[in-house]
Amino acid sequence: MPVKNRFAELLPEITAWRRDLHEHPEILFETHRTSAVVAEKLKAFGCDEIVTGIGRTGVVGVIKGKSNTSGKVIGLRADMDALPIHEQTGLAYKSKIDGAMHACGHDGHTAMLLGAAKYLSETRNFDGTVVVIFQPAEEGGGGGREMCEDGMMDRWGVQEVYGMHNWPGLPLGSFAIRPGAFFAATDQFDITIEGKGGHAAKPHETVDSTLVAAHVVTALQSIVSRNADPVDQIVVSVTAIESSSKAFNVIAQRVQLKGTVRTMSTAMRDLAEKRLKAIAEGTAATFGAKADVTYYRGYPVMVNHEEQTEFAAEVAKSVSGACDDAPLVMGGEDFAFMLEERPGAYILVGNGDTAAVHHPEYNFNDDAIPAGCSWWAEIVEQRMPAA
C-alpha cells in the first residue's frame, strides 16, 4: 500500500500548519502557542480526549477505533520545540522570533502527526486506541522524560510507542531504521583546573593552569584510543576552554573546560565517566594543580526494540517500497525515555538534499509530509486491523 491518497489531498492544509509553526518557534518547555495550536486542532478533529500540561507543556490526544476487541493501545510521538538559532533561510515564512528557529524539523514532525490524527479521527478504521503524543523540550530539556514521569504511559495504558525524525541526505520520502542501540547517550562534563596564577614573564613562580588544561585535553583522547574497545562507539569532545584571565601577560589562576561524551552502551558510558575523572584529576596533580570534575548524565542510549523495529520497517516498505538500514547516530534523542518504558521503534524519513539539521539554513521538506503521515497511519491500521 503506497502513500495514502487522503494525505496527498491534505498536503496543502498540513503544509500551512507546518509553516505557521515554523514562523512561531518556541524553545524547550516554552511551547505555549504550539501546544495551544495542537490542542485546538485535536479538538476540531474530534479526538475523544485531549489533555494538556503533561510534562509541563506536552499535549496528549486519544482516538478510539471503531471497535476495541483487541484492547491494544499504541502511542505515536512527535516533538514540538525549536532551537536557539538565528534563521538564515530567507523564506517567506521564516521565523518571526529572533534567535529561535525550527532548525531540526520538529515543526514538520508536529504537522505530520496532526495530519495522521486528523485522518485517524475521520476514518477510525482500526480496532483499539491511539494516543498521539506531542512533546516539548526534546532539544536538551528532557521533555520525554518529564512526560513519562507524569505517568503518561500508565495513565493511557500505552503498550507500544513509535516515533519519527526527518533526515537530510536520505532520499525524499524514503525510510531507514535499525534495531537495538540507535542514538547515543549524551553526557556533558565541566572540568575546572585550579593552578597558581602569576606574571607571564615568571612562569617558574606559577602553576600554569593553561598548560595543565592543554595536557588534560590531549590526555582525554586516550579514553577513545586506549581505554575503549576499538569496536565500541564513543566520542569524547572538549568543546570550550575559558581562562580566568584575558590578559596577554598573565598566567591564569584557573581554566574551565566543557565538553560532551557520546556512547552506545551503559558499560561504555560508565567507563568513560570513570576514566574522564581519573585522567583529569591525575594529569592536574602531575603538574601540581587540581582538577574539579563534574559529570552530567543526559539522555540515555535510544534502543529500538527488535520486534517493533521489524514491524516498523515492514510498514515503511508498504508506504515507500523500501526501508534502508540506518547508521548508528552519535547524536542524542530523548525518545529514549519512552522506549525505556514501553517497547517501540524510531524511524528516519528522508528530507532529501537539504541543509543538515541544526543549521541556520535548514528547512523541513514539506514534500515528505504524505510519506510521514502515511507511515504513522499504517502503524495503527496494520497493528490494530479493524475487526
Domain ranges of the chain: 5-183+301-383, 185-299
pTM for this entry: 0.95
What is the mean pLDDT of the segment spanning 176-194? Answer: 98
Known binding residue 204? Answer is no
Contacts of 84 (CB under 8 A, 6+ apart): 27, 99, 100
Contacts of 136 (CB under 8 A, 6+ apart): 28, 29, 30, 31, 35, 55, 56, 57, 58, 79, 80, 81, 143
Whether residue 92 has pLDDT greater than 80: yes
pLDDT of residue 2: 64
| Nine cell digits for residue 139 | 532539544
Tens digits of per-residue pLDDT, 2-54? 667 899 999 999 999 999 999 999 999 999 999 999 999 999 999 999 999 99
Known binding residue 148? Answer is no
pLDDT of residue 3: 67
Known binding residue 104? Answer is yes
CA gap 62, 138 in Å, rounded: 22
pLDDT of residue 387: 87
CA gap 233, 224 in Å, rounded: 9
Question: How far apart, in Å, are the Cα atoms of 106 and each of 18, 34, 53, 148, 174?
Answer: 9, 11, 19, 20, 18
Contacts of 210 (CB under 8 A, 6+ apart): 243, 251, 252, 255
Q: What's the CATH architecture for 5-183+301-383? A: 3-Layer(aba) Sandwich (3.40)
Known binding residue 199? Answer is no
The answer to whether residues 47 and 62 touch, using CB atoms and an 8 Å cutoff, is yes
pLDDT of residue 1: 46
What is the mean pLDDT of the segment spanning 206-218? Answer: 98
CATH of domain 185-299: 3.30.70.360
